Amino acid sequence: MIPILRGLAVAVTVATVGTVGTVAAQRPHRSGLWLEGAVGLASIRVSCSNCEEVTRASGSTAVLRVGGLISRKVLIGIEAFSFIDDAFGLDAADTSLVAQMSNLGGVVLWYPWRGGFFLKGGIGVAAGEFTVKAESAEQEVIQGTGVGLTFGVGFDMPVTRWLAFTANAGAYVTAIGDLVLPAVRIDDAIPSMYSISVGFTIR
């Protein structure tokens, strides 16, 4: 009788472990309503139709995404991206501008394999704001709006069942129209930002 009970216990244990393993394998990387937040570093590249040279600078970035699930491998969401550089200039000697760029739009995340690696793409509304530093209290703000495209890659590393560490590398290409600055006019400004960020995802 005892050997039969032992055999039954082993069979139940194996079946339970197998069921748990199957459920874990079938569990999506993010499920239901998910929320992701990350911060990092970025570089900006500004070109225009009347610029002799391309302006490049570096700054900090923040990303916030919230979304849901279409399938086990495909997710949709809304992404808010911001970039700031408080010493921006049109040339190496000029640091008289505070440059702020933001992008708000829809994104699709695709997990092609079983691991946490994903690809991202999206489109939205882009906005640029350039504040001219002044010695007086009054400062001049120049704004532009347009269309923004984004694409990138990322990786989710599970920490707990509901929390994951997330790393991202992405690009944001925007077109914000003409900018009339005190010293120069920039026609058809096209800022492109490249960022690396780390954060956490509630999944």
Using a 10 angstrom Cβ sphere, with 0-12 exposed, 13-18 middle and 19 or more buried, the burial of residue 101 is: buried
Judgement on whether residues 61 and 117 belong to the same structural domain of the protein: yes
Range of the domain at 100: 31-202
Q: What is the pLDDT of residue 85?
A: 87
Judgement on whether residues 193 and 156 belong to the same structural domain of the protein: yes
Specify the number of domains making up the chain: 2
Whether the pLDDT of residue 5 is over 50: the answer is no
Residue for token pair 């929320």: 35
The CATH number of residue 56's host domain is 2.40.160.20
Judgement on whether residues 122 and 98 belong to the same structural domain of the protein: yes
In angstroms, the CA 199 to CA 163 distance is 11
In angstroms, the CA 102 to CA 98 distance is 13
Whether the pLDDT of residue 7 is over 80: the answer is no
pLDDT digits (tens, 9 = 90+) for 182-196: 666 778 888 999 999
Q: Which two tokens stand for residue 151?
A: 């694409």
More confident residue, 170 or 142: 170
More confident residue, 183 or 109: 109
Mean pLDDT of 111-118: 92
Judgement on whether residues 79 and 52 belong to the same structural domain of the protein: yes
Whether the pLDDT of residue 181 is over 80: the answer is no
Judgement on whether residues 12 and 42 belong to the same structural domain of the protein: no
- Residue 41, helix vs strand vs coil: strand
pLDDT digits (tens, 9 = 90+) for 55-84: 888 899 999 999 999 998 999 999 999 999
Judgement on whether residues 123 and 159 belong to the same structural domain of the protein: yes
Q: Which of 183, 189, 185, 175 is nearest to 54 (CA)?
A: 189
Q: Which two tokens stand for residue 191?
A: 């800022």
Judgement on whether residues 2 and 50 belong to the same structural domain of the protein: no
Judgement on whether residues 90 and 148 belong to the same structural domain of the protein: yes
What is the percent of the chain where pLDDT is above 90? Answer: 49
* Count of C-beta atoms within a 10 Å radius of residue 27: 13
Judgement on whether residues 188 and 106 belong to the same structural domain of the protein: yes
Residue type, 147: V
Residue type, 99: A
In angstroms, the CA 183 to CA 197 distance is 34
Judgement on whether residues 65 and 112 belong to the same structural domain of the protein: yes
Judgement on whether residues 60 and 159 belong to the same structural domain of the protein: yes
Judgement on whether residues 46 and 112 belong to the same structural domain of the protein: yes
